[in-house]
Amino acid sequence: MSRLWNFSAGPAALPLPVLERAQRELLDWNGSGASVMEQSHRGKRFIAMAEQVEADLRELMGIPADYAVLFEQGGATQHFAQIPMNLAAEGDSADYIVTGHWSEKAANEAAPYVRVNVAASSKAYDYLRMPARDSWQLDPTAAYVHIATNETIHGVEFHDVPDVGDVPLVADMSSDILSGPVEVSRYGLIYAGAQKNIGPSGLVLMIVRRDLLARPGRKMAKIFRYAEHATHDSMLNTPNTWGWYLAGLTFQWLKDNGGLGAMAERNRQKAELLYATIDGSGGFYRNPIDVPVRSRMNVPFTLHDSALDAAFLQESEAAGLLALKGHKALGGMRASLYNAVPVEAVQALVAFMHDFSRRHG
Ligand code: PMP
C-alpha cells in the first residue's frame, strides 16, 4: 500500500480504520445487498444508522438535550450566509470577531443579511495574534456574536471559550471540531464543514440551541430554514447519505480510541513536537504567531530562505510526507495535524525537517 503521511488542510486525512471499514462495506452495506449510497434515506436501515450517528456524536461531545443536531449541506461557506438569515431579523446587527481569513469571510458573506459589526479584528497585526477580549466592542443587543475557533489558513486558535454574556455565541469549528472536549452549553450554535475532522466534504454538522430555532429570521424558502431541517431530522430533502455514514464511522473510531479527551492529549503532543522543532531550529524554520494562540490543528511555517521551498516540497513528498505546501495567501508551508494524523506522522515530519535543515543550513 502506498498511503503517505497526509498533512492536507482539507479535504484531509481520514482515519485508516474508517476507510478500511467503508471499503469492506462498500458493495453490501449492513446486509442490505446494496451500498449505503444506493438506497433510500427514508429506509429503515438508513434511519436507524442516522439515529445512531447522532447518538454517538451526542455522547462524544456531551451535547445537552436542548440542542438540535443537524446534518446540513452547502459547505460552511453557505452557512456564513444562512446563519444570519435564520438568527437575525430585518434590521438586526451581529458582532463578528475577525481573527483570520475565514472569520473575515464569514463577516463579508453575512453582510447582505445582517448589519455586521466587526467588534474586534486582528487584521492590522496580520492575524498573528488574537484581539484581547477586553478590546472587543460587543453590542449587548446584537443577534449573536460570531467567531471562528480555529483559523485554518492563519493558524490561530481560541483555546478558551470567550465570555460574551447573554448574546448567543456562534462558532465556526470547521477545522477544530472533535479535536478535544467542548463545552457545548457555552455556545448558541456550532457549525463545521466535515472535510477535516469528520468525513468527506459536502456535509456540514450543526449543533444549535433549540430556542434559537424559534427565531423568525427573515422571509425565506423552507430549505434555508434550520427549524424546518430540525423538524424533519435533516431529511427535508435528500441528505448527503455517504457523508453521514462516513461521519458515523469517524464517531465510532473516536469512541473506540478514548473519545475527545484522548484526542486532545494526542493533538497536544503532536503540536508540541512540531512547534518545538520549528522554535528550536535556530531560525531555519519560523512560525511568527503569538505562542498562546497557536493552532493545534494547522501549523503554518516558513523556511528562512524561500528559495528552498521547492526543494522542501519535493524532498518531503519523496520522504512520504504529503501536502505540506502552504496556502497561497501566506506562502511557505503548512502542516495540518487533524485527529486522523497520528503521532508517527508528526515524528516522521520533524525527522525530515531536522535532516533537511542539516543538509541545507
Ligand atoms: N471555515 C473554516 C474555518 C474553513 O477552514 C473552511 C474551509 N477550509 C471554511 C469555513 C469553508 O468551508 P467550505 O469550503 O466547506 O465551504
From the CA atom positions of the chain, what is the Rg in Å? 21
Q: Please give the biggest Cα pair distance in the chain.
A: 62
Closest Cα to atom 9, ligand 1: which residue?
Answer: 76
Side chain identity, residue 230? A
The answer on whether 77 is annotated among ligand-binding residues is: yes
CATH code of the domain covering residue 232: 3.40.640.10
Grid cell listed for 185:
452549553
Residue 361 — very low, low, confident or very high, per pLDDT cuts 50/70/90? Answer: confident
Query: Active-site residue numbers?
Result: 102, 172, 196
From 232, 256, 280, give the residue that closes a domain.
Answer: 256
Burial 250-268, CB ≥16 within 10 A → b, else e: bbbbbeeeebbeebbebbe
Question: Is residue 258 predicted with pLDDT exceeding 90?
Answer: yes
Same domain, 135 and 208: yes
State the average pLDDT over residues 216-239.
97
The pTM of the whole model exceeds 0.95: yes
Output phi, psi for 183, to 5 deg: -85, 90
State the average pLDDT over residues 199-209.
98
Same domain, 219 and 268: no
What ipTM, to 2 d.p.? Answer: 0.99
152, 173, 296: residue to mutate for ligand 1 pocket, most atoms within 8 A of CB = 152
From 194, 225, 256, give the residue that closes a domain.
Answer: 256
Position 349 scores a pLDDT of 98
- How far is the C-alpha of 131 from the C-alpha of 94, rounded, in Å? 18
State the average pLDDT over residues 250-271.
98
96, 102, 153, 338: residue to mutate for ligand 1 pocket, most atoms within 8 A of CB = 102
Question: Is residue 159 predicted with pLDDT exceeding 70?
Answer: yes
Question: Roughly what angle, to the nearest 10 degrees, separates helices 343-360 and 309-318?
Answer: 130
Residue 337 is part of which domain span?
A: 259-360
Side chain identity, residue 262? A
Count: domains in the chain: 2
Q: Answer whether 229's CB lies under 8 Å from 69's CB.
A: no
Question: Is residue 347 predicted with pLDDT exceeding 70?
Answer: yes
pLDDT digit string, tens, across residues 64-103: 999 999 999 999 999 999 999 999 999 999 999 999 999 9
CATH code of the domain covering residue 307: 3.90.1150.10
Site residues for ligand 1, CB cut-off 6 Å: 10, 75-77, 102, 148, 152, 172, 174-175, 193, 201
Position 121 scores a pLDDT of 98
- How far is the C-alpha of 184 from the C-alpha of 171, rounded, in Å? 10
pLDDT digit string, tens, across residues 289-327: 999 999 999 999 999 999 999 999 999 999 999 999 999
